[in-house]
Structure 1
Amino acid sequence: MNRIGTFLVGALLLLVFASSTLFVVDQRQFAVLYALGEIKDVISEPGLKWKAPAPFQNVVYLDRRIQTLDSPDPRPIFTAEKKSLVMDWLIKWRITEPRQFIRNNGVDIRNAELRLSPIVQAALNEEVTRRTVSAVLATDRERVMQGVLARLADDAKNFGIEIIDVRIRRVDFSAQITDAVYRRMESERKRVANELRSTGAAEGEKIRADADRQREIIVAEAYRDAQKIKGDGDAKASALYSEAFGRDPQFAQFYRSLDAYRMSFRNKSDVMVLDPSSDFFKTMRGGATAR
């Protein structure tokens, strides 16, 4: 029993010793080996590694993957026209020199990002202040990003890192300028709308006037054609009457007298005062013979 207990204690001590001397390096990490507080080695090859037990040696790991730093608090930047822009940016970076990184920032990546943010903002300011608003928004946007990337190269070496990419995600006017721009856009749209309304009203009046003119022309032409047709009809009727009455003048005289009587005595209330011996009553007196 004592032998088994001794064996178990020995195995346990061996396991503790092995766990304090062996460590695993992941392919996504740098392993920084410290010996009595000083950097002894930086291991980048993944696998199982050996070290002296603590406190003689210990290991600190650094993430070697690409990191993303976003703009913490976008601040106004003045362009060459003295107009204020608010820019939202990000950078992609990674650790390339672990020793240099630890000397300048320690082992916490957040320390590096806190120091790197104002440097990026300053580089962006220098690039933007040399350009106009239209250039920043349209033509020179890519040049601005490349210029910031070039300005950060030396600072990145001091940090022990590499800046892989710089991106401007959003560019806006400051609140005061945005309100002024919106007001100007609104007034411009109103001016254009009023011009369109005026043009439309003028075109409407022109169309109505043209329609009225065409209506008058059409009515006049229709009246002219109607009078012409009526005149032709009256002429033909007169010719027919003349031809018919010419064949028998006495009957024509009798027919016309009857027509005159019918028109004269149409209403019972009509009163006529005439001499019975006048020619108007000649037919009634038998002065004409009807056939």
Structure 2
Amino acid sequence: MVANGTTSSQPVFLIFGKSGWIGGLIGEMLKQQGAKFDYANARLEDRTGILADFERVKPTHVLNAAGLTGRPNVDWCEDHKLETIRVNVLGMLNLADLCFSHNIHLTTYATGCIFHYDVSFPEGSGKGFTELDTPNFTGSYYSHTKAMVENLLKEYPNVLVLRVRMPIVADLVYPRNFITKIIKYDKIVNIPNSMTVLPELLPMSIEMAKRGLTGIMNYTNPGCISHNEIMELYKQYIDPEFTWQNFNIEEQAKVIKAPRSNNLLDTKRIEGEFPEILPIKESLIKYVFEPNAKQRDQVLASVKQMRGR
């Protein structure tokens, strides 16, 4: 691949999002692989800075894990709409356009929280939203901007958009981990969802970039799993005394600013590229619960300290 006027037989990766969760994990994986990579210094909306990073690193591939999700959650975006547009729309398009003009492959870790169960895709039917389906969820401003920019990004022939959902890692006290979040809540909804087990899927994304895959990819494990099923696994492997309570969508709406997306994504495309990918429950057991069960006492103490109990 030609990038910045040079040729390279070995991929050179440039990572955006060095201070973020997924960006850090990607860097660690590339380091373990002995790959050539560096982190970008520029923000997505800084065109001059991005060009300086291109000149400094001379990448063949850009991996973008930068963007605004809000802190402590996506409700933040409801009150910061201009900042959200500036990064998630203008910044993302800026990066994609510069990568295209410099013949650089771009993989961006986006979101699958742009769909919601409806009459055509009812909960429990087993029918998942495909890469070709039009997003139908605009309940949160965050999801609104991500759906908008995905529709534009698909026109770029050099871009791979990965739809991440409810990302999970093995660290059960890491605040961005979906399991950590629901362990901390007093009450949870109980809805089946597609989810992304990062320890299994992140290495696949690096391979996708090397293969030069483009377009949209539902970047989740096959199948779906409910909140209660995850809590049952936590109780089975970590804390036999763990208890939780459920509430419904209407009750949840009273404690959040923006509705949340719940959906099942079709995974035929990623299964076609990686037939070895595990169904969501099997992946959770292998990559999260079995490793934590080996150090159960230490994990349990850390979780209880996090929960203040």
Normalised to the residue count of structure 2, the TM-score between the two structures is 0.19
* Greater RCO, CA 8 A, separation 6+: 2
Higher strand proportion? 1
